[in-house]
């Protein structure tokens, strides 16, 4: 995600496939044309809805090299279907006319196998094609996809269905990136206005109704544990193969670190004391002038936070969000705790789900419409595991034992980012619930913080 579009892959070559009783990858939806079309329409429409509150001006700017313009996201995810579904089908005889040959270069993110790419840092300079043309491009591709799916006995075309599902999962990742990026862009205009007019800070939607639960630690037993995706439904290749790890006993916090708790760290001079920080982290604090999480502003002594609903008073009970790995690690160190490994997190999530104490469907995901993390419920068991904020882990992003990249362009995606980044788990309030599973691995560089990233402590 750090690079703008996830490395994704349906993993058709998995060596364990036969052992698991299935010789083909499975799309997330049933393999009939109607349901595939329905899911396609739903996902594609949702992207358009996300862009709807924005003006053409909002959609063109790029506020930093890590972010991309909304218009670029709208086009790139469409390019993905054109490049990896429609063009190969056209070579086999499907009637498809490329919308604009220049788009192959313009909207390729990083696929060297496909060809050269327009410079990433200059995506905000593409005023032509304009937004209307890009929306027409979407329409053009959508109509072709519909024709393709309906004309095809998909029961005999599982691979095609898998590719389409991959394109949809890819688009869901870009929906989250779109929200992250537009939040960053709107933050540059001094107006600090809300992403959507109807989302003006209401004091209701974003504020917690009650204080969050007290911080407590939940015990989890160690030993050999299986981690990674079990091949029930879709996953990316970086979640595979499922394999065993050995864990010591561990304890995990019952909820995310709150703004109130993080504020104590700030007030205690956390950003002035090198001893709390990783060496690279302290260098970053100084070079970037960090004094608080991203989007925090202090005015007349009071702290505010910029949200997609506009500027609001900092909610003490809500989870701290938009912190870098360096900040998460420094906070944990200051608090006498540590961050969990990605496997501790996954183990705890699976155990809690089995115990009925954690449920993806109940998480604060993008479907809730809040677009901001909220306070933890006063309930037993681990809270906020799913949704709200991505949780930094102490695990670096690395291939699982036996990982192999797929051949061809689609294999270019995941392996090539497996260095110098940290894994985050759990999804966020801007992630689709239908896109999430507990084996999901997100990854960012330790200094990045424009994603919705928070902290869960471990011991």
From the CB of 368, what's the least distance to a second copy, in Å?
26
Of 57, 70, 71, nearest to 177 by C-alpha is 70
SS3 355: coil
Q: Three-class SS of residue 333?
A: helix
226 forms bridges with which residues in the sheet?
A: 244
State the minimum distance, in angstroms, from the CB of residue 280 to a second copy: 6
Closest CA to 52 of 208, 227, 196: 196
Cβ(98)–Cβ(79) under 8 Å?
no
CA atoms of 443 and 400, how far apart (whole Å): 14
Q: Please report how close the Cβ of residue 184 comes to a second copy at its closest, in angstroms.
A: 10
Distance CA 357, CA 119 (A): 46
For β-strands 453-454 and 390-396, DSSP reports them as parallel
Q: Give the SS3 label for residue 98.
A: coil
- Among residues 101, 170, 87, 167, the alpha carbon closest in space to that of 129 is found at 101
Q: Which is nearer to a second copy, 151 or 223 (CB)?
A: 223
In the complex, the smallest distance separating the C-beta of residue 411 from a second copy, rounded to whole angstroms, is: 9
CA distance 217 to 381: 10
Nearer to a second copy, 209 or 248 (CB): 248
CB of 62 to a second copy, least distance (A): 9
Residues 35-44, buried b or exposed e (16+ Cβ, 10 A)? ebbebbeebb
Residue 44 CA: distances (Å) to CA of 170, 243, 384, 407:
11, 34, 28, 27
Q: Toward a second copy, which CB reaches closer, 49 or 112?
A: 112
Give how far Cα 252 sits from Cα of 4, 349, 365, 459, Å.
31, 10, 22, 7
Q: How far is the CB of 97 from a second copy (least distance, A)?
A: 19
Least distance from a second copy to the Cβ atom of residue 370, Å:
22
Nearer to a second copy, 162 or 446 (CB): 446
The residue among 22 and 112 lying less far from a second copy, judged by its C-beta, is 112
Displacement of CA 316 from its chain's centroid (Å): 25
274 close to 46: Cβ distance less than 8 angstroms: no
Q: 30 or 65, CB closer to a second copy? A: 65
| C-beta closer to a second copy: residue 294 or 432 | 294
Which H or E run includes 446?
none
* Cis, peptide link before residue 131, omega less than 30° from 0: no
Work out how close the CB of 151 gets to a second copy at its nearest, in angstroms, rounded to a whole number: 33
Q: Where do contacts with a second copy occur on this chain (CB under 8 A)?
A: 3, 55-61, 63, 71, 102, 105-106, 110, 112-113, 118, 122, 124-131, 185-186, 188-191, 193, 224, 243-246, 248, 274-275, 277-282, 325-326, 329, 394-396, 398-399, 401-402, 412, 415-420, 422, 446
Residue 22 or 420: the one with the smaller Cβ distance to a second copy is 420
User: Which of 193/357 has CB closer to a second copy?
Assistant: 193
Q: What minimum distance in Å lies between the beta carbon of 249 and a second copy?
A: 10
Q: Which is nearer to a second copy, 295 or 436 (CB)?
A: 295
Q: Could you tell me the smallest distance in angstroms from the CB atom of residue 170 to a second copy?
A: 17
Q: Which residues contact 130 (CB under 8 A, 6 or more apart)?
A: 56
Contacts of 113 (CB under 8 A, 6+ apart): 408, 409, 412
Nearest distance in Å: CB 27, a second copy: 27
Residue nearer to a second copy on the CB measure, 329 or 388: 329
- Rounded Cα–Cα distance for residues 74 and 68 (Å): 10
CB of 200 to a second copy, least distance (A): 13
SS3 76: helix
Give one word for 77, left, alpha or beta, with left for phi > 0 and alpha for psi -120 to 50. alpha
The residue among 71 and 372 lying less far from a second copy, judged by its C-beta, is 71
């Amino acid at each position: 995600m750090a690079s703008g579009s996830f490395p994704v892959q349906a993993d058709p070559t998995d060596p364990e496939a036969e052992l698991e009783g299935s010789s083909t990858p499975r799309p997330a939806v049933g393999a009939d044309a109607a349901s595939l079309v329905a899911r396609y329409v739903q996902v594609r429409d949702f992207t358009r809805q996300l862009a709807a509150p924005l003006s053409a001006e909002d959609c063109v700017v790029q506020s930093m090299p890590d972010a991309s313009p909304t218009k670029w996201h709208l086009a790139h995810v469409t390019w993905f279907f054109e490049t990896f579904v429609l063009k190969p089908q056209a070579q086999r005889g499907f009637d498809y006319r490329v919308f604009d040959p220049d788009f192959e270069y313009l909207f390729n993110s990083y696929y060297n196998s496909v060809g050269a790419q327009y410079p990433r840092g200059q995506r905000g300079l593409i005023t032509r094609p304009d937004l209307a043309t890009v929306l027409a491009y979407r329409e053009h591709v959508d109509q072709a996809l519909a024709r393709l799916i309906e004309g095809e006995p998909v029961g005999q075309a599982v691979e095609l269905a898998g590719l389409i599902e991959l394109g949809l999962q890819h688009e869901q990742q870009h929906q989250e990136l779109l929200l992250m990026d537009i939040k960053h862009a709107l933050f540059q205009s001094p107006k600090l206005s809300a992403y959507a007019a109807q989302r003006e800070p209401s004091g209701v939607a974003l504020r917690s109704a009650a204080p969050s639960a007290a911080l407590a630690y939940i015990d989890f037993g160690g030993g050999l544990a299986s981690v990674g995706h079990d091949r029930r439904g879709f996953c990316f290749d970086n979640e595979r193969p499922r394999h065993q790890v050995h864990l010591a006993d561990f304890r995990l916090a019952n909820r995310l670190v709150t703004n109130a708790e993080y504020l104590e760290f700030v007030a205690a001079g956390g950003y002035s004391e090198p001893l709390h920080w990783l060496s690279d982290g302290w260098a970053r604090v100084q070079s970037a002038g960090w004094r608080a999480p991203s989007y925090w502003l202090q005015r007349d002594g009071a702290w505010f936070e910029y949200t997609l609903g506009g500027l609001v008073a900092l909610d003490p009970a809500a989870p701290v969000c938009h912190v870098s790995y360096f900040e998460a690690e420094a906070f944990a160190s200051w608090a006498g705790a540590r961050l969990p490994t990605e496997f501790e997190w996954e183990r705890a999530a699976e155990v809690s789900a089995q115990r009925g104490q954690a449920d993806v469907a109940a998480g604060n995901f993008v479907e809730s419409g809040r677009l901001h993390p909220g306070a933890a419920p006063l309930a037993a068991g681990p809270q906020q595991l799913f949704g709200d904020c991505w949780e930094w882990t102490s695990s670096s992003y690395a291939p699982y034992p036996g990982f192999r990249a797929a051949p061809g362009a689609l294999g270019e995606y995941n392996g090539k980012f497996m260095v110098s980044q940290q894994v985050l788990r759990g999804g966020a309030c801007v992630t689709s619930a239908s896109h999430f599973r507990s084996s999901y691995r997100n990854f960012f560089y330790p200094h990045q913080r424009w994603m919705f990233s928070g902290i869960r402590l471990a011991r």
